[in-house]
């Protein structure tokens, strides 16, 4: 794939369209799922990543892999138990809250955006009365991505104001100003972080609480995701975490960007988690632990992303046919300094996840391609 200058989650999805617990690190000389993922982690480090961590799970057996370092200053090894910013994997959490609210009959996904957010989408030819909540969640709203705004993108890349406050409506307005509509809502899939900022605004309008509060109460606490947080103001990380790095952009050398703006993406990409917590969430989600049957069916109803039918987008999750022919539910996330992705089988019995600690807002890098291929191969080997 030709590299594209995209910001955060947009770059992640561009790449995604391409194609016993506690066990120690696997070895690359074995043709197992863990061995394939370990080899991919080592190749990722050879490609230039500081560190790569990964997890493979089949049934009740979990294995972890790691390569490189989690902190360039101390040279501490990359720890598969460390926390990291999960970027657009946050979207599945946000979508889950809205699906739960529908199950409680507090809203309908076919409600218009204007019903809950009057005037929020009313500029440059866009009309919130013609866009539904469902179209926000499956990215068929035709709303432009605010992350492609040149000023926003540059400021985020430079990370000069990691504690900058962004009002959600300001981000939406940046998106609406990008271009006029290219089609009617519902006609085609087009990834946009603006959709999920608006989704978070709907959650606030319905519940009176911000998305982080609802995610904690409805998902993090019930599932016991003890290493998962949803920061809303504090941009720093603490405890055992992967340091995130940004390789040279516009003449600036490698930088530690572990502390970065959480309000820049909010409901679209702010959550901090671990491999274990992220896979516990995705397993609970795809197997129906979090949603009533009607909403579970909606979650998994996809719209086409690729013309060949190998990738579809549900509500905050992807359905992907891998090169080996197997299908998996998936998503990935990319924010400054971090790139991660996961695959989960429909019955939750097979899972692969991995993360690395470098992202400089470019999609299609060799490191992304090599580690992404290894993640898919590891899933196919389970």
Residue written as token pair 């599945």:
92
Tell me which residues are annotated as active site. Answer: 88
Q: Are 70 and 76 in contact (CB under 8 A)?
A: yes
Helix (H/G/I), strand (E/B), else coil: 28: coil
Give me the long-range contacts of 135-138 (CB less than 8 A, separation at least 24).
135/185, 135/186, 135/195, 136/195, 136/196, 136/198, 136/199, 136/202, 137/95, 137/98, 137/109, 137/195, 137/196, 137/199, 137/315, 137/316, 138/189, 138/302, 138/303, 138/313, 138/314, 138/315
Strand partners, 64: 55
Residue 71 and residue 344: Cα distance in Å, rounded? 29
Q: What angle, 0 to 180 degrees and rounded to 10, lies between the N-to-C axes of helices 33-47 and 366-380?
A: 180
Residue among 188, 190, 154, 196 nearest 171 (CA) = 196
Q: Are 375 and 362 in contact (CB under 8 A)?
A: no
């Amino acid at each position: 794939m030709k590299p594209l200058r995209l910001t955060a989650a947009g770059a992640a999805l561009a790449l995604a369209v391409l194609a016993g617990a506690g066990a120690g690190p696997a070895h690359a000389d074995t043709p197992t799922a863990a061995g394939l993922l370990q080899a991919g982690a080592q190749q990722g480090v050879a490609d230039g990543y500081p560190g790569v961590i990964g997890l493979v799970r089949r049934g009740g057996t979990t294995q972890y892999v790691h390569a490189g370092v989690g902190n360039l200053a101390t040279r501490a090894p990359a720890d598969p138990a460390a926390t990291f910013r999960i970027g657009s994997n946050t979207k599945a959490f946000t979508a889950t809250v809205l699906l739960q609210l529908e199950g409680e009959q507090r809203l309908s996904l076919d409600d218009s955006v204007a019903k809950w957010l009057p005037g929020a989408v009313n500029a440059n030819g866009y009309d919130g009365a013609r866009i539904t909540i469902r179209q926000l969640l499956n990215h068929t709203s035709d709303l432009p991505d605010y992350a492609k705004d040149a000023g926003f993108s540059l400021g985020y890349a430079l990370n000069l104001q990691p504690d900058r406050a962004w009002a959600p409506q300001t981000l939406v307005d940046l998106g609406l100003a990008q271009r006029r509509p290219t089609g009617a809502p519902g006609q085609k899939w087009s990834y946009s972080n603006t959709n999920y900022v608006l989704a978070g605004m709907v959650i606030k309008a319905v519940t009176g609480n911000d998305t982080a509060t609802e995610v904690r109460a409805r998902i993090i606490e019930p599932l016991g995701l003890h290493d998962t947080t949803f920061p809303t103001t504090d941009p720093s990380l603490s405890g055992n975490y992967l340091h995130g790095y940004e390789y040279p952009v516009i003449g600036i050398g490698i930088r530690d960007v572990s502390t970065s703006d959480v309000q820049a993406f909010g409901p679209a990409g702010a959550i901090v988690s671990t491999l274990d917590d992220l896979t516990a969430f995705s397993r609970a989600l795809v197997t129906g632990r979090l949603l009533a049957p009607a909403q579970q069916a909606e979650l998994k109803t996809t719209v086409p992303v690729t013309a060949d039918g190998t990738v579809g987008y549900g509500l905050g999750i992807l359905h992907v046919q891998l090169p080996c022919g197997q299908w998996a539910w998936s998503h990935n996330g990319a924010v400054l300094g971090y790139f991660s992705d996961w695959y989960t089988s429909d019955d939750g019995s097979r899972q692969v996840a991995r993360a690395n600690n470098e992202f400089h807002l470019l999609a299609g890098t060799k490191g992304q391609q090599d580690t992404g291929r290894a993640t898919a191969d590891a899933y196919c080997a389970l």
